[in-house]
């Protein structure tokens, strides 16, 4: 059970980094530091979009429209933080207490 929780925590950390990288890449694209005419940048950007869009979609339905400001990555990061630092450690602690 602990190994499963560690794998879940590792995957949640991976998703956290994907969202952070996507946010940085979106800022670089928005300020024309990098260009989406490059095949590599476009491929990376599209891959990150396909990975994160299923996470953002339900949150975007609930959040009000803020125009150009998209708060769904921030909400997903907050949920990931809560899961990684509060929920999973509590489940592991309860499992260890119940096992002994």
Strand, helix or coil for residue 32? coil
Average pLDDT, the chain: 94
Task: Answer yes or no: pTM beyond 0.85.
Answer: yes
CB 52 within 8 A of CB 73: yes
DSSP letter string, 63-95: SPP-TT---HHHHHHHHHHHIIIIIHHHHHHHH
Q: Mind listing the pLDDT tens digit for each residue in 29-88?
A: 999 999 989 999 999 999 999 999 999 999 999 999 888 889 999 999 999 999 999 999
Longest dimension (CA), the chain: 59
What's the pLDDT score for residue 67? 86
Task: Indicate the angle between helix axes 72-82 and 2-30, nearest 10 degrees.
Answer: 160
What's the pLDDT score for residue 76? 97
The residue ranges of every structural domain in the chain are 1-98
Count of CA atoms in the C-beta half-sphere (13 A) of 3: 0
Rounded to an integer, what distance in angstroms lies between the CA atom of residue 18 and that of residue 1?
Answer: 26
**Structure tokens, 68:** 């150009």
Q: How confident is the model at residue 100 (pLDDT cuts 50, 70, 90)?
A: confident
């Amino acid at each position: 059970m602990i190994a499963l929780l560690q794998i879940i925590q590792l995957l949640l950390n991976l998703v956290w980094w994907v969202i952070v990288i996507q946010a940085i890449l979106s800022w670089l694209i928005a300020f024309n530091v990098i260009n989406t005419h490059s095949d590599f940048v476009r491929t990376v950007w599209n891959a990150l979009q396909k990975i994160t869009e299923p996470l953002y979609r339900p949150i975007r339905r609930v959040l009000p429209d803020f125009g150009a400001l998209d708060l769904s990555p921030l909400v997903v990061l907050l949920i990931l933080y809560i899961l990684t630092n509060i929920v999973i450690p509590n489940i592991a602690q309860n499992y260890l207490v119940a096992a002994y």
